[in-house]
Amino acid sequence: MSKLLNLKLILILMLSGAFNYSESQEVSGTVTDDASQPLPGVSVIVKGSSTGTTTDFDGNYSISANNGDTLVFSYVGFETQEIVVTGSTLNVSMHAGVALDEVVLLGNRAKPRTILDSPVPIDNIGVEELTSGGQPTIEAMLTFKVPSFNAQNQAISDATAHYDPADLRGLGPSRTLVLINGKRKNQSAQVFLNRTPGKGEVGIDLKSIPTAAIERVEILRDGASAQYGSDAIAGVINMVLKKDAQFSTFTAKTGVTSEGDGFNFATDFNTTLGFGEGGFINLTLGYYNQELTNRAGTPGVADLPGDARPNEIAWAQNTPDLGMHVGQPDLEKGDVFVNMSHPVGEHSEFYSFHGYTLRTGRSFAYYRAPYWRRDVADAGFITAPEDFQGYQPSFEARIKDHLNVAGLDMDLGNDWRADASITFGKNSVDYTVNNSVNRDYLADNGTSPRTFKPGGYSLSNVIGNLDFSKVFSDMVSGSFGLEYKKEKFEAREGNPLSYYGAGSDSFAGVKPEEAGEWDRNNFAAYMGLDFDVSDALLLGIAGRYEDFSDFGDNFSWKIFGRQKLGDKGALRASYSTGFRAPTLHQRHLTNSQYIIVASSPEPLLQGTLANNNPAVEALGVPNLFAETSKNLAAGITYKFDRNFSASLDFYSIKVDDRVLFSSQIGSDSDDTTTNPVEQILEDNGVVAVQFFINAGDTKTTGADFIINYRNMDLGSGKLHANLAANFNKTTIDAINTPDALAQNGYDIFARIEKGLITSARPKSKFILGLDYESEKVDIGLYNTLFGKVTITSPNGPANDQALSSKLATDLSVSYNFTDKLSITGIINNIFDVYPDVTLASTGTAQAGSRFVYSSEVQQLGQLGTNYSVGLNYRF
């Protein structure tokens, strides 16, 4: 009976809100900062409703409101203002404030809330804070600003070297959802197949999002599949694009490492143009170029075999690094981003944004030492046999990424809003292998090409969204919507000579039987309700149903709550279920390539068979299905005063049926009989086979801590301090091996693969940032302490190596010639800190000391000190 009464009460409240519509007036005014300069892009909302707008280029706004309503003004880096409407004109001056007062878009569709009001932890990072540390790309910026976010370049990892796998809370690239202006960003075309963090997964191509186009980044650190769908297990990152920018901005920056390599140059331009009556077009143009770095070891003659030839000995003596290039690749990138909006009628808005990025890059494979390739030497193909010095294949990628969104945001009246949109996104990569040889073609024909086109991959999606929100009353607000998505994955066949025999050395081409197109579609419906039981207590629920054409359906749900501690703090907690759909890549990828096997001094050929391949099915591996998760989180946030705030959040995330990229399954130690697995290898002509399988159950626990102190008087300026930390631990609770493999004694996920999940990312990270601002000089000092990581040895735990914590210190100094022109000098990693040297006793893919530092686990990268200088001009 009590449940029925509660339902009746909710319906009465909803209906009373639905018919409580009164005539409103247009309230307008100008928003300025402390220096009386107009502030464009300020969020203006009617408190307790979904009605909102933003200020234009001149800081002006206009909004429908009644006398007695409260308008909430919020902007990144400024203290939120709440002002009661008493007339048709309201001018506002905003003051520098703390993050807890900022209104964020993530986490709630019906009623905009500040970070303090939110029932889940959300970071809100403005573009000036992102760029202050001098990092060149958005994933690097986030690594040195957000403790639970990690990404580093992966040397000698084929196409992975051009994407840099990134993750949140150590859960892998696949389990963080990335949005742009609240719309889902398409995944990359590339699967990370090499032994790097995120092996076997697919992420978002963050390099395709130019920082110059971003106003701020919102990061929801909580499971959110029930609100946003697949992939949001670790959280959600929303890139909010610039709108009516106050100035046109031109920047140029160049830098180089202390070793004299890695020269880079970047320039971008952002401006806002008028669009019809009341509309805008924000345009971003960007260019970035970087040269390679090399931190290879120098094993020299120690690597020579016992039967070394005279030319091989001379080569090793004259080339102690054995020709290796271990470091970041060459890269050239161009961006175009457009974000536009135009009013439709009095209360609706047409919006559209488009991004296109084209980049090319060159990384390197292992140098094919002359004693590794005596068949090529003896053929006299490249040089006379007695002069042969080997060769180093280069792996070159051409990557295109574009995103196109158009929609209509509609005010339906009576606090109802609707948003209808369509999204098209695509990422594609095409490969070129240079300075290589097809050894089988050479053996059969006495010659070989040196350049190969081994094919490529692309992933695209089309998404239609229809979203509704309604503030029913001061107590109840809600949202619901529908989504339809169609995805397509394409594997493009390489040139026939790239896959002739074993294929081009270092990367075999995509064969005709491996090429093809695959697609799927899914339908989703979601809803959510927030109950503001009182000014202090908020309770909410959310649910989402999705049905995928290739594996089935899923229902995820979430409950959450927030209890305010007066006007300054809040306790918050949530529990949710989540899911991640296996990607089309993981379902359909089939290829063969040379990989590094720890027991072999040179690369060997390995094959990946699709999950639905009959040979894999014969081993008892089922078709892929969705991972599921359970996420429990709780925390506290408190604003001691307008300048001092802190938050502490704990989380526990269990992922069941996690999709794993299996270990290399090869021949067993019994040479007298052939087991079923060995027969599959023989039939496919490879030394080992790998596949994707729902086999892992993992648990991730951790905590995030953030403390901010702003506006401390220091001389003629202000000092701002920020301390943030993340503690994170992942364990593997179970690996579920199919019977056919278990009965033949196969370990489908060896401990070295497990180590990439449990210990390849830092288990802790601390960031201490100090910013001093004055009229002429701005100084930033940033310290990032990366916690320990462990190199997991294939030879047992006794040979594992723990790499000690490492501290990177960055210094930034800016001089403001005028309020429009400034110059900035930056030193990253002042003390030239590198990871610990990898011990040969680990038995990992060190390849005879060719790697000084691990290519498998990552902390702060392998660049050392980097110097850069930049110019910023706004007009």
How far is Cα 20 from Cα 471, in angstroms, rounded to an integer? 11
Residue 33 is assigned to a structural domain of this protein: no
User: In which residue are the tokens 């901005």 written?
Assistant: 249
Tokens of 837: 């040297």
Query: 365 - beta bridge partners?
Result: none
How many C-beta neighbours within 10 Å does residue 793 have?
A: 20
- Which DSSP category does 195 fall into? S
Cα separation values, 525 from 214, 247, 465, 553, Å:
30, 41, 10, 12
Q: Is residue 72 in some structural domain?
A: no
Q: Which helix (H) or strand (E) holds 539?
A: strand 537-548
Q: State the pLDDT at residue 595.
A: 56
For the chain, the domain total comes to 1
User: 503: exposed, middle or buried (C-beta count within 10 Å: 0-12, 13-18, 19+)?
Assistant: buried
- The per-residue pLDDT for 7 is 40
| Tokens read off for 731 | 């364990």
User: Which residues are bridge partners to 489 per DSSP?
Assistant: 459, 518
Task: Output the pLDDT for position 18.
Answer: 38
- For residue 32, being part of any structural domain is answered with no
The whole-number pLDDT of residue 787 equals: 97
Two structure tokens written together for 426: 């695509």
Of 122, 87, 152, 128, the closest CA to residue 857 belongs to: 152
Domain at 276, CATH number = 2.40.170.20
**Domain assignment present for 359:** yes
619: closest CA among 457, 740, 513, 528?
740
**Residue 40 resides in a domain:** no
Query: Which runs of consecutive H residues, i.e. helices, occur in 77-174?
Result: 127-131, 138-143
Task: Identify the DSSP state of 495.
Answer: P
Q: Model-level pTM?
A: 0.88
Query: Kind and range of the H or E element at 872?
Result: strand 866-874
Written as six digits, the tokens of 857 are 């686990």
Residue 327 lies in a domain: yes
* Residue 601: predicted pLDDT: 60
Strand order, beta sheet including 43-46: 52-54, 43-46, 70-75, 78-84
Going 142 to 354 to 460 to 348, the CA torsion angle's sign is positive
Establish if 864 belongs to a structural domain.
Answer: yes
The rounded distance, in Å, linking the Cα atoms of 536 and 240 is: 29
Q: Consecutive 10-residue runs of the chain (875 residues): their mean pLDDT?
A: 43 40 76 79 81 80 89 80 88 74 74 80 91 91 95 83 90 96 96 88 94 94 95 96 89 97 96 92 97 94 95 96 94 97 92 97 94 96 95 96 96 92 98 96 96 97 96 92 98 96 91 95 96 94 96 96 92 97 94 62 70 82 95 95 91 97 81 77 73 96 94 91 96 94 89 93 96 94 97 91 96 94 97 94 79 88 95 94
Positive/negative CA dihedral, 62, 64, 69, 71: negative
Q: What is the pLDDT of residue 16?
A: 42
Domain that holds residue 179: 97-874
440, 500 Cβ separation under 8 angstroms: yes
Q: Is 15 domain-assigned?
A: no
CB 724 within 8 A of CB 767: yes
Residue found by looking up tokens 């989703």 in the block:
524
| C-beta of residue 433 within 8 angstroms of C-beta of residue 506 | yes
